[in-house]
Amino acid sequence: MTQRRESQRRRTGKSTTGPVTDRSLYVFTEGRRTEPDYIKHWFRKHRDRTLVTIDEFHGTPLRLVEEAIKQRQQDLRDEKHSRGSVADEYWCVFDRDEHDEFDDAVKAAEAQNIKIACSNPCIELWFMLHFRYQTAWIHRHDAQDESERLLECKKRLTHQALESLDRSFDDAKRRAQRLDSWHSGNGSPPRSNPSSSVWELVERISIR
């Protein structure tokens, strides 16, 4: 494990005198602000039961998955030699956007037991689902504009925005699941625009 990630785990980890967590997640995010802010909100709420480490690396979906694979393999080696521990789950959070290697990233993640939380076209679509259902194809710029209008903030999520997203999580989850069923029913490929599986990561953090 690199010195950077060792220090990162010390910062994120809980005190040894605190309660034992039920689950540990190691998360890589494409974005540097929005996704980490959102995930940290849920971690703070459930830190007595779930340990969440957010890596400092950010990049394209394929690069995220490659880094997650390397981290998991390194953790397995460290655990074997009693130098560390392996997280229960490794996650990558990224957007479909217009990434050419998106399908390669998904295949690599599935092959190496890396879980993904993906939004199409972007995480702002997930935020929109907290307020209303959306079936029409939407460009990421339009989703970003609509999310900004609904949450009254931009990339840096405010306390008020996070609380609003928290309160309406169950509604957003139902809408996201309904979208998956809608795509399946009309023959659309999985993760089509619009769709999001971010709720799956939130549920793993909150142990629902």
Per-residue pLDDT of the chain (208 residues; tens, 9 = 90+): 343 454 344 334 332 334 567 999 999 999 999 999 999 999 999 999 999 999 999 999 999 999 999 999 999 999 988 888 899 999 999 999 999 999 999 999 999 999 999 999 999 999 999 999 999 999 999 999 999 999 999 999 999 999 999 999 999 999 999 999 999 999 999 999 999 999 999 999 998 7
The number of residues in the chain equals 208
pLDDT at 21: 79
Name the residue ranges covered by the structural domains of the chain: 3-206
pLDDT at 83: 84
pLDDT at 54: 98
Q: Using CA atoms in the order 133, 191, 36, 130, what is the torsion angle rounded to 10 degrees?
A: 10
Asked whether the whole model's pTM tops 0.85, one would answer: yes
Asked whether 59 and 37 are in contact (CB, 8 A), the reply is no
State how far the Cα of 49 lies from the Cα of 21, in Å rounded to an integer: 4
CA nearest neighbour of 91 among 111, 76, 109: 109
State how far the Cα of 182 lies from the Cα of 150, in Å rounded to an integer: 24
